[in-house]
Every structure is written in C-alpha cells, then in structure tokens.
Amino acid sequence: MSIDAQARYSKSHEWVRKEGDLLVYGISDHAQEELSDIVFVELPDVGASFSAGDVIGVVESVKAASDLILPIGGTISAVNDSLANTPEVLNSAPYSTGWIAKLKPSSPSEWDGLMTADDYAKFLGE
C-alpha cells in the first residue's frame, strides 16, 4: 500500500495535497483497496461550497458504496471528469490521475488538523 508523503489525511481515508493556492482531493490507497473494483464516481459540482465533514459525492465499487467526505471546507474549482468514463483510475492511481476534485479552501488552517503521512501510516497500523 502506498501513501503520498506530500498529502494530509482524514480518518475517513481521504487525502488533500497543496497545489498552489488550491487543494487536490482524493481517496487513499487504503480506501481503494477496501472498496475493491470501483465502478462509479459521483462528483460534486464546480462552484459548490462545502464545510469540512460534508459529503460531496459517492464512490461505488463491486462491494459497496462509500460517501466522499471532504476533510477541509472550501469551494470546488475543478473535478476530474475523466472518472465518469474510467472510475477504475481510483484503484490504479489514487494519488495522481485518480484525484477527485480541486478546491479553494475556505479556512486553510484546517490543513493543520489533518494527519501527516507518518500519522496516517500509524493510524492504519492500529
């Protein structure tokens, strides 16, 4: 299992990574392994605003459906439209081409409340 050292993580297995003044959001490698073969992704609308902890979409796999929970509040500035046709990219490349959304954070200090890669690795080991 891989962990992106540049990202921060939530206990619900989502990650965010800084990219300029935006944050890139996705699900962790651990999450995609638990879900198994992903067959559908419901994406949020560009321009929609959310608070930390809000459900912004759904990932469906052959095993289960799982809510996408945003760990940091903000406004969606872009979504990965390619996931509509190739949702399995979340399985093969969750930290690169499998990103889900980009957002402008409303409270950048929320970043500090997320787990570092090391903290997340320890969290998974528990």
| Domains parsed from the chain with CATH numbers | 8-107 (2.40.50.100)
- Closest CA relative to residue 23, chosen from 59, 72, 57: 72
Burial of 59 (0-12, 13-18, 19+ CB in 10 A): buried
In this predicted model, what pLDDT tens digit does every residue of 25-84 receive, in sequence order? Answer: 999 999 999 999 999 999 999 999 999 999 999 999 999 999 999 999 999 999 999 999
In this predicted model, what pLDDT tens digit does every residue of 2-22 receive, in sequence order? Answer: 899 999 999 999 999 999 999
CA 39 to chain centre: 16
Is the Cβ–Cβ distance between 68 and 55 less than 8 Å?
yes
- Cut 0.85: pTM above it: yes
Rg (the chain; Cα; Å): 13
